[in-house]
Structures are given as C-alpha cells and as structure tokens.
Amino acid sequence: MEARLLSAILGVVLVQAETAVQSLDLPRLAGFWREVGVASKQHLALTTPKRLEALFLTLHEAELTVRAAYSSLGSCETENIVGSEVNVSGKFVFPGRREIRVIDTDYERYAILRLSLAWRGEDVHVLKYFARSLEEDYEPGLWKFRELAADTGLFLVARHGQCAKLLKQVSLH
C-alpha cells in the first residue's frame, strides 16, 4: 500500500514538474550540459557501452540541435541530431521516434530531462540529470532528480570524462 501511495505521489510530482515548465525560456537552455545522473526502469538504458558524457544545445526558432559527446570503448564520439519543438514548450521530437522533454531547470546550474525512444520494439524512458559545470553537480538540483527518480531505479554517474571536456572546449570556440 505504501509503495503504491509513494508511486502515486511521485507521479503527481512528475506531472506538476512537467506542467510547470510551460513557460520555459528556451534560449537560456542553450549551451553545454554534462550528464551526471541517469534513472530508468529499463536496465539496458543503464548499461549501454556507448555512454553519453555531455550535450551542447543550440536553438534556432523551433529547432533544437543536440551535439552529443559519447565515450565508447575508450574513445570519444560525437553526434549531431536536429529536433523540432512540438505543441508543448520544452518537448522536442527527433528522427527515429526519439523525444526529449525538459522536466526542470534553473538554466544556470542544472537541468532534468526525460528521454523517450523506441529501441528493439520497446519504448524506453530515461530521466537524466545534467550540470553546466565539469566539476560541480549542484546538490539542490541533484536532490530534485533523486526525488523524481525514486521509483524508477537510480544510477548516478560522476563522469569527468575526456569527451565532456572536449565537447565543451570545441563548442565554446
């Protein structure tokens, strides 16, 4: 009974967080973001050998360009993906049935995103916590992420990887 009540409360919190983002200031979201935490019920989302380290977001009207830096078997890979905003502020769709939704952000220190994608015939949903800094995780934002992810299985990663550093250096120049 307590577990169902907790899930219901967290579901309400998640819905409130999603609706609170209606007035999202998208230009302030642009720039460098380092991945700090991942939460998913799907084990595959947590154990992939190609690990995201950082994103650099660029906005142009209703288009979001995501430059992603991955660590894969000891080397760095980057990928550029262009998505478009749909009828909800902070929700972007990308080719391949992928979607990103901004759940919460203070623009300056942290962002919590929900990624949805189809993989091997399954819908996979992942909550991700990002920090602007290569060094700091910003504890108040991290606590919000932990609360939202409490019933999904939590995997925190403190990656200070070379790929994130390279993406930040290249993208800022």
Distance CA 9, CA 32 (A): 32
Instruction: Check residue 170 and give its pLDDT.
Output: 80
Instruction: Check residue 144 and give its pLDDT.
Output: 92
Instruction: Check residue 2 and give its pLDDT.
Output: 39
The neighbouring-strand residues paired with 93 are 84, 99
Angle 1-3-105 from CA coordinates, rounded to 5°? 140
Homologous superfamily, domain 2-172: Calycin beta-barrel core domain (2.40.128.20)
Instruction: Check residue 13 and give its pLDDT.
Output: 38
Instruction: Check residue 15 and give its pLDDT.
Output: 41
User: Other C-beta atoms within 10 Å of 110: how many?
Assistant: 25
Alpha-carbon torsion, ordered 146, 101, 7, 137, to 10 deg? 0
Longest dimension (CA), the chain: 54
Distance CA 149, CA 140 (A): 14
Query: Residue 123: which H helix or E strand, with range?
Result: strand 122-131
Q: Which residues of the chain have pLDDT under 70?
A: 1-22, 43-47, 153-160, 172-173
Amino acid code (one letter) for 60: H
Q: What is the pTM of this model?
A: 0.79
Q: Domain residue spans in the chain? A: 2-172
Instruction: Check residue 20 and give its pLDDT.
Output: 43
Residue whose entry in the numeric block shows the structure tokens 């999603």: 18
Instruction: Check residue 33 and give its pLDDT.
Output: 96
Instruction: Check residue 44 and give its pLDDT.
Output: 61
In whole angstroms, how far apart are CA 68 and each of 18, 34, 48, 153?
Answer: 24, 10, 15, 24
Instruction: Check residue 61 and give its pLDDT.
Output: 81
User: Other C-beta atoms within 10 Å of 38: how many?
Assistant: 23
